[in-house]
């Protein structure tokens, strides 16, 4: 499970780059009940998505020409410069070099060898998400990749992640569970799965990360997604031992998963 007791290599923040911030805030507000809190008059298009006063995620405009709207997952690091050098020594790429974030911490963004984009956060005054593993909050992270072996090697060398393979029911392939270095299985925070490039249509065959958000009623949440102009790539369907889930896409093309865990079904 994801907790706010963040450790090295665990997800600690997410943000969404959107072509229309107001439209994105309205969409997710209708789907999850989130409220948009602008950072200030100097940056009205940048802000936080909150639920019951707790920070769930960040939201801002797309800053790269030609970039698709997508969720970015940040993993905790205690040394962003060392992590960046490790990426440079590997076959990954540094997309955004280490930079200060208004004294609240330092961040950098990268691309893994299969094209998956992710980021790291070295906290100072701002630690990360206020609420996780709850209805309307991040409860899991997933990497869809064209090479699971290479992905496990890359992220393992970067964060020390421990992985555990499991066979999906019905011959659905292998899913690798991810746990931060030195942590017990209860601290699993995500998974990765290998898919052929033709099944990664959102990114033109490149790997990608997406967030999983908790829901009291997956079907009801999906109904709100479609009623507000979003779409569904898969589901809703029951996943044995996991819960009821659906892979959704917002109005601007950013993908995310809605999950009602099995214990709430």
Of residues 48, 160, 148, 154, the one with CA closest to residue 110: 154
CB 214 within 8 A of CB 139: yes
Per-residue pLDDT tens over the stretch 171-182: 778 999 999 999
| pLDDT 10s digits, 223-250 | 999 999 999 999 999 988 899 999 999 9
Cα–Cα distance between 255 and 168 in angstroms, integer?
22
> In 3-state terms, what secondary structure has residue 160?
coil
Residue 236 neighbours by CB under 8 Å, 6+ apart? 218, 219, 222, 244, 245, 246, 258
Architecture of the domain delimited by 11-123: Roll (3.10)
Tell me how crowded residue 130 is: count the other CB atoms within 10 A of its CB. Answer: 15
Q: Which tens digit of pLDDT belongs to each residue from 4-38?
A: 999 999 999 999 999 999 999 999 999 999 999 99
Looking at residue 264, its pLDDT comes to 43
- Contact by Cβ (8 Å): 192, 178: yes
**d(C-alpha 136, C-alpha 34), whole Å:** 8
Among 21-25, 60-64, 189-193, 214-218, which stretch is predicted with the lowest mean pLDDT? 60-64
Q: What is the C-alpha to C-alpha distance for residues 58 and 46, in angstroms, rounded to an integer?
A: 8
Domain boundaries, the chain: 11-123
- Mean pLDDT, residues 101-116: 95
pLDDT reading at 124 higher than 90: yes
What whole-number distance in Å separates Cα of residue 35 and Cα of residue 28? 8
- What does the pLDDT read at residue 265? 39
Whole-prediction pTM: 0.96
């Amino acid at each position: 499970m994801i907790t706010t007791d963040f450790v090295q290599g665990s997800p600690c923040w997410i943000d969404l780059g959107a072509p229309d911030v107001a439209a994105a805030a309205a969409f997710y507000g209708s789907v999850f009940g989130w409220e948009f809190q602008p950072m200030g008059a100097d940056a009205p298009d940048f802000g936080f998505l909150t639920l019951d006063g707790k920070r769930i995620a960040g939201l801002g405009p797309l800053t790269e020409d030609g970039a698709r709207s997508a969720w970015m997952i940040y993993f905790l690091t205690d040394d962003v410069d060392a992590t960046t050098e490790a990426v440079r020594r590997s076959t990954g790429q540094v997309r955004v070099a280490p930079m200060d974030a208004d004294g609240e911490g330092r961040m950098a963004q990268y691309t893994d060898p299969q094209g998956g984009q992710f980021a790291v956060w070295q906290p100072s005054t701002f630690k990360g998400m206020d609420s996780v593993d709850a209805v309307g909050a991040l409860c899991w992270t997933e990497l869809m990749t064209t090479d699971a072996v290479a992905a496990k090697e890359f992220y393992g060398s970067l964060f020390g992640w421990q992985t555990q393979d499991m066979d999906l029911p019905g011959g659905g392939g292998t899913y690798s569970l991810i746990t931060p270095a030195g942590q017990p299985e209860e601290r699993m925070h995500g998974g990765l799965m290998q898919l052929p490039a033709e099944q990664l249509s959102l990114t033109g065959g490149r790997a990608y990360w997406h967030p999983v958000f908790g829901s009291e009623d997956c079907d009801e949440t999906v109904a709100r997604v479609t009623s507000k102009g979003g779409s569904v790539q898969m589901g809703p369907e029951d996943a044995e031992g996991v819960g009821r889930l659906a892979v959704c896409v917002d109005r601007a093309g950013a993908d995310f998963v809605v999950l009602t865990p099995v214990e709430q079904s």
